[in-house]
Structure 1
Amino acid sequence: MRAKEILNVSVDCVVFGYDIKAKSLNVLLIKRYLESVAKSNVLVDDYVLTGYHVYEHETLDEASARVLKELTGLTNLYKKQFKVFGAPDRLMGKSDQIWVKSKKFSSRTFTVAYYFLLKTNDVDLKANKHKAKWFPLGELPKLGFDHKKIIEEAHEDLKAKCLSEPITFELLPLKFTMNDVQDLYQSILGVEIDNRNFRRKLISRKYIIALDEKQVGVSKKPAQLYMFSKDVYDKISNKNYLISM
């Protein structure tokens, strides 16, 4: 039996991915494309966040996990539900209305927005049926619905959250350098960070573990490697800020 959708309640997922080589915070978007019946005109051609209606039997978290898995094949990622979007005109753009009518859902749809954190190379996009593509946060394409606003608000929440909890390590490989961490914070926050001050504060955190290893395969002097210990972090009751801006 086909699951029944709630036609005016959806989830939208902002999937943030960090490209450590490009030092770029990216957003995963899917192609929204529609031609006329005769295929003589392109009616809709842009990008949107991945999302879908909530099924009657699902919780919101279950719906977001389903949507994410269908897009990326991944489960158990860091996620945060950060806001509900329900402005009366959020789906009223010309292209949006064409899309809404073609898909037969309500123009007055409320969406619960989540964001997820992962590394860009965790997702294989070669055979992705949604034609998903990574876009740097500062180079977004034309977006449908109110998804530009959703992405902007997700980014603001991520900036605040990364200063109070070490969620950024979800975006880094298991072993990393201090430069890797600094580059990531600068990419998220969009600011230059004082090198010495940042490193001093970061190294003082007990949950940042120095390894008896250094980088390999680099042309310059290899840097010390570190790892994040969630076990140590969970035992620390006083979660001080990683950075004081």
Structure 2
Amino acid sequence: MKPEKILNISVDCVVFGYDVTTKSLNVLLIKRYLETDNDILVDDYVLTGYHVYTHETLDDTATRVLKELTGLTNQYKKQFKAFGSPNRLTSEKDLLWIKNEEFNSRTITVAYYFLLKTEDVDLDNTNNNAKWFPITDLPDLGFDHEKIIKEAYKDLKEKCLSEPIIFKLLPDKFTINDVQDLYESILGIEIDNRNFRRKLISKKYIIALDEKQVGVSKKPAQLYMFSKDIYDKMFQKNYLISM
């Protein structure tokens, strides 16, 4: 039997991914396109999301939405805010889309963000022409999704200083420069390299490996890994790294 949708409650997912090569924090967006009689009515991008089914929790819906788009499960996710303004879906394009899709214009959405590695997503096997966009260069967005992304980004900036969530965006083995580049990408600041390196390698949960980079033209750098087990044992409620 086909699941029953709750027509005025949805989940929207801000999917953050970090590209180690371009040193860019990105957002995964899907194409929203509508035409009739050869006239293009809607042509922009939106977050991935969907209605909540009657048998689901909100977390279930968010997990399902991400899996349907990327095939990925067990990624870091956080519910960060609900959006229920009466005017959130009232632009001309949004109303055309809503009429075509037959859902409630007074829909309340609960927003989540996910953290993953861009290379883990096979864009050729995603629906709706999914594409990564740098957080600093987003395309034209539908609904109130620009606002949702900004709120998610604000929360991510705060959380990355107090919780080790950035390691969800990095490869299992990384260099100190990789960590610094990621912090700079998220926070939009320049960090003193020497001071950052000294502070990071002093953390017992940053484990130096007996390995170095391979396939690089410059001198290969030392590789490290993050130990969640050690972190959990020694964790105290303070800042992971101070900037």
1:155 aligns with 2:153: yes
Aligned-pair distance for 1:214? 1.1
State how far apart, in whole Å, the 1-side matches of 2:19 and 2:33 are: 27
Which residue of the partner structure matches residue 10 of structure 1?
Answer: 10
1:118 aligns with 2:116: yes
SS at match of 1:163: helix
Which residue of the partner structure matches residue 141 of structure 1?
Answer: 139
Question: What residue ranges of structure 1 are gaps of 5+ in the alignment?
Answer: none
Question: What residue ranges of structure 2 are gaps of 5+ in the alignment?
Answer: none
Which residue of the partner structure matches residue 176 of structure 2?
Answer: 178
Structure 2 residue aligned with 1:231, among 225, 229, 232? 229
Aligned-pair distance for 1:239? 4.2
State how far apart, in whole Å, the 2-side matches of 1:243 and 1:211 are: 21
SS at match of 1:26: strand
Which residue of the partner structure matches residue 76 of structure 1?
Answer: 74
Which residue of the partner structure matches residue 62 of structure 1?
Answer: 60
> More deviation in 94-103 or 216-225?
216-225
Task: Note the alpha carbon deviations across 1:126-170, whole angstroms, 9 max, x for none.
Answer: 132221000011110000000000000100000000000110000
Once the two structures are superposed, the pairs formed by residues 162-201 of structure 1 within 5 Å of their partners are 162-201=160-199
Which residue of the partner structure matches residue 23 of structure 2?
Answer: 23
Change in 2 beyond 3 A, CA 1:204/1:240: farther
Task: Note the alpha carbon deviations across 1:104-132, whole angstroms, 9 max, x for none.
Answer: 11111100000000010000011322210
Aligned-pair distance for 1:49? 0.1
State how far apart, in whole Å, the 2-side matches of 1:112 and 1:133 are: 22
Aligned-pair distance for 1:221? 1.2
State how far apart, in whole Å, the 2-side matches of 1:241 and 1:199 are: 16
Q: TM-score, normalised by structure 2?
A: 0.98
Task: Note the alpha carbon deviations across 1:76-121, whole angstroms, 9 max, x for none.
Answer: 0000000000111000011000001111111111000000000100
SS at match of 1:126: helix
Q: Percentage identity across aligned positions?
A: 75
Aligned-pair distance for 1:188? 0.4
Structure 1 residue aligned with 2:215, among 214, 217, 237? 217
State how far apart, in whole Å, the 1-side matches of 2:238 and 2:180 are: 18
Task: Note the alpha carbon deviations across 1:190-212, whole angstroms, 9 max, x for none.
Answer: 00011112111111111100111
Aligned-pair distance for 1:22? 0.3
Q: TM-score, normalised by structure 1?
A: 0.97
